Amino acid sequence: MLVLGIESSCDETALALVDDSGVRAAVISSQADIHALFGGVVPELASREHARLIGPLLDSLFRQADLGDDPWKAIDRIAVTRGPGLMGSLLVGVAFAKSLALAHDIPLIGVDHLQGHLLAADLENSIVWPALGVLISGGHTHLYRMDGPVDMTVLGKTIDDAAGEACDKFAKAAGLPYPGGALLDALGKKGTADPHLFPRPYTHNDNLDFSFSGLKTAGALWLSQHPHAHFPAGDTPARERLDLASQELCDAAASYLLAIAETLTIKAERAMHLFTPKSIVVAGGVAANSVVRKTFADLAEKKHIPLFIPRLSLCGDNAVMIARAGWHMAKAGRVHDLSLSAIPRGQVIPQDWKPFGHALP
């Protein structure tokens, strides 16, 4: 079964083809350079860029996949990110997917973007169920009980600022350009973490939700008290100036990232009291962070269970994960019709799929 995946939830326009063997082809275009001029994603610009890029990217995907004169005959399902995300960006992808589904009479599947992230780890691994899912991105920090690829239950979620947002805001306040998460990680590798410099926010409770607003405030306060430690300005790319950063800033970056990683594992370990997972899945953009990966590797070793994290290229937003999630939904006999709606951040993704014949083998 061959699934076309479409992703346009924020500022990456991506398409991919995934079949029973794995990734057949994938293309992606990032808008990071455009939004860097404004220090963050501008929703109106993002949606316009998606509309401009999505058609040419589909042509590029088909050339890469070499599906013959009529590629549509080879495609069995069209999977698209329906949310959460920026509403304008989502609408471009959903409308494009609906048009293709209608024109070529191909079943349509709407995918929860967050669950798609978790299933990116399934491409190169055989996840052991039930798994504890830890989704860490710029806008979301969620814990899931994963009983299977289409059976996930939210155990805890972001109530204000997500881990990725906390990283980006600290990086921006320190003088790093957008997007700052990867640069903050690079600085942290040059520093030594002080486990007492920053708090582990919202952990003195008995729930599984996350709030990184307190850490964001602590980081901003430290930077205001140490203006001399800010990242040096310059005309060359920031990565070429990393060696010019003060040791004090590198140590603070390492300490800040450790606070985030340990906050995540505190809550993850707490979730293990609700059920006994046979594996841990960590996914999302912040799963690319070296401190997060190391801290969860230590937790998995402590619990004597395997850890599954997507390769770095699949941690950020991509269409491979959407196609893979759609592949699993198709296998379970789930499909949507053309009434499929886009769901912005902050709203619950409805489980409004329709049965399609029977589950595929």
**Of 354, 359, 281, 316, which is closest to residue 113 (Cα–Cα)?**
316
Statement: residue 50 has pLDDT above 90 = yes
Beta strand ranges found along 42-199 (DSSP E)? 77-83, 108-112, 131-136, 141-148, 151-156
> Could you tell me which residues come within 8 angstroms of residue 5 by beta carbon, excluding any fewer than 6 positions away?
14, 15, 16, 17, 18, 79, 80, 111, 319, 320, 321, 322, 323, 324, 325, 326
- Backbone φ and ψ for 286, nearest 5 degrees, come out as -75, -15
Q: What is the pLDDT of residues 253-292, one digit of tens each?
A: 999 999 999 999 999 999 999 999 999 999 999 999 999 9
- Backbone φ and ψ for 82, nearest 5 degrees, come out as -105, -10
Hey, what CATH class is 3-119+315-355 in? alpha beta
Mean pLDDT value across residues 106-112: 97
Q: Where are the domains of the chain?
A: 3-119+315-355, 127-309
**Of 260, 256, 261, which is closest to residue 299 (Cα–Cα)?**
261
Q: Which residues of 106-125 are buried (b: 16+ CB within 10 A; e: fewer)?
A: bbbbbbbbbbbbbbbbbbee
Q: What is the pLDDT of residue 357?
A: 57
Q: What is the pLDDT of residues 221-250, one digit of tens each?
A: 999 999 999 998 887 888 888 888 999 999
Token pair belonging to 133 = 């899912």
Statement: residue 37 has pLDDT above 80 = no
Mean pLDDT value across residues 196-217: 96
> Could you tell me which residues come within 8 angstroms of residue 67 by beta carbon, excluding any fewer than 6 positions away?
74, 75
The Cα–Cα gap between 231 and 244 comes to 8
Check if 3-119+315-355 and 127-309 are the same fold: yes
Statement: residue 122 has pLDDT above 60 = yes
Q: What is the pLDDT of residues 61-105, one digit of tens each?
A: 999 998 888 999 999 999 999 999 999 999 999 999 999 999 999
Q: What is the pLDDT of residues 306-357, one digit of tens each?
A: 999 999 999 999 999 999 999 999 999 999 999 999 999 888 899 898 877 5
Superfamily for domain range 127-309: ATPase, nucleotide binding domain (3.30.420.40)
Pairing type for strands 77-83 and 108-112 reads parallel
What's the mean pLDDT when you consider all of the chain?
A: 93
